[in-house]
Amino acid sequence: MSKKSAILPDPSDVFSMMVVSSAFEPRSASIEEKRRIFGKFWADDVFQLQSGFDSAGRRPRTDDLGFGFLVEGFARHSKKIPKQNTESGEKAAEAILSELHLGKRGHVRLGSRQSNSDFLWVKLTGRQVFVTGIGEIKSSYQAAKNKVGGQLKRQEKSVGYLAEELESAKSRGSVSGFFQKRSISIADNLEKFLILPFGQGEETRHDKEFSDWQVVELEFSYGELVFIAQQIWPDFRPEIQVGPGKLANLDQMAFKLGEWAKPMFDSIFSDSIEFGCHNPLPYFELGLFFLATGKTPLLEDEVQWSAELVQNGYWPAVQQCLDFFLYSTPHPEVDFSKTEKKLFGKFWYILTPNREDLEYFVYFIRFLSRQVIDLSYDKNKLKQLTDMSEVWKI
């Protein structure tokens, strides 16, 4: 390696930082769906990507870029990919792709100008392997554009050429393993899918050179994937600077709320054995819990489950708030309840002088309140929540 790899950050921190950054794209998929895919990607791919490439995301000696492999990692876990092979079809697809990858070292001599697809969709009927579709992953519209006349054009031909060469090799008795007693045929109307980050599809669909490709967009945008790449390779694309996004303001206000609530909770738990300098109270969660429910935890065990309710409800409430603003036009002067108007008046300037940001935060508290109540019911805590004291008033 030309540079020593940095220590990888905690994946939950990376995901949270991405969501509150300007790279975050709320239209491509829900936060929870993104979290699911991100978690699988991080577990399966991140170590190899960091160890195989330097701090700028380049492979030593070859100068290959790792970003394309990162996009492929996310695509493998995507639910947007339109087709899925059966177990037997997947084995056949893997066998075909293995032959294409091996090139001159496999059962047939494919030559250096063959190109293998990232995905193959295959039906296996008896001894007949029937290829119905191919899929190619590209990191951007421009990356696909650069390959449309070469690599992409050769992919369909590669599978057909492999089928012909395998039949020829079988007649010479030089094929063993999976293809020894099986034949490959290609669908006349072979489907071709071009898989891109979210936001890269519109221009591609309008490009006549891709007219015979079906364009699929992933759950992550190009900007989000660049942000994640920069956490893996600290010197990757330094010219792309990602700042705080809309949700960063919400997160900052929630933090300020915790600071505002700190003296009040400190006074309640001043004699606590469990909470102190070595185990501080979860002020962030307690402040949000107070605003969402109007209730105040007074016992140590109440603190624990109250904080858990907020932790579990936080991102779903953020998602509901995002959906609310994406698909409707809020009117706080009409929409806000009496309590919400009171809350707005109380915390204007305490949390932010920006009226729009505070209105957004109040809507978020509304959705968090619903989440906390629903979760308390699911966890058999509704009675404890109902019986909890209302020490302070907004």
What are the domain boundaries of the chain?
11-232, 246-387
The residue-averaged pLDDT of 168-177 equals: 71
**Rounded (5°) CA angle 222-21-370:** 110
214: left (phi over 0), alpha (psi -120 to 50) or beta: beta
350: left (phi over 0), alpha (psi -120 to 50) or beta: alpha
pLDDT at 112: 47
pLDDT of 103 > 70? The answer is: no
pLDDT of 201 > 90? The answer is: yes
The residue-averaged pLDDT of 90-110 equals: 69
pLDDT at 104: 47
Give pLDDT tens digits for 335-386.
999 999 999 999 999 999 999 999 999 999 999 999 999 999 999 999 999 9
pLDDT at 66: 94
pLDDT at 1: 41
- Label residue 312 by pLDDT band (50, 70, 90): very high
Give pLDDT tens digits for 126-144.
888 888 888 899 999 999 9
- Label residue 6 by pLDDT band (50, 70, 90): low
Residue 304: both structure tokens together: 């624990």
pLDDT of 2 > 60? The answer is: no
Give pLDDT tens digits for 144-164.
998 876 667 777 777 777 777
The amino acid occupying position 270 is S
Mean of per-residue pLDDT scores for the chain: 88
CA dihedral for 171, 177, 179, 180, sign (positive or negative): positive
The residue-averaged pLDDT of 118-125 equals: 86
- Label residue 110 by pLDDT band (50, 70, 90): low
CA distances from 227 to 22, 57, 71 (A): 10, 13, 12
The residue-averaged pLDDT of 211-231 equals: 96
Question: How close are the terminal C-alpha atoms of the chain, in Å?
Answer: 57
pLDDT at 164: 79
pLDDT of 111 > 60? The answer is: no
**Contact yes or no for 115/155 (Cβ under 8 A):** yes
Query: Hunting for tokens 């094929």 — which residue is that?
Result: 175
The residue-averaged pLDDT of 9-17 equals: 93
- Label residue 193 by pLDDT band (50, 70, 90): very high
Query: Which is higher by pLDDT, 180 or 388?
Result: 388
pLDDT of 28 > 90? The answer is: yes
pLDDT of 178 > 50? The answer is: yes
Query: Which is higher by pLDDT, 301 or 165?
Result: 301
The residue-averaged pLDDT of 164-178 equals: 73
61: left (phi over 0), alpha (psi -120 to 50) or beta: left
- Label residue 105 by pLDDT band (50, 70, 90): very low
Query: Which is higher by pLDDT, 307 or 96?
Result: 307
The residue-averaged pLDDT of 195-223 equals: 94
Give pLDDT tens digits for 65-95.
899 999 999 999 999 988 778 888 888 888 8
Count of beta carbons in the 10 Å neighbourhood of residue 364: 24
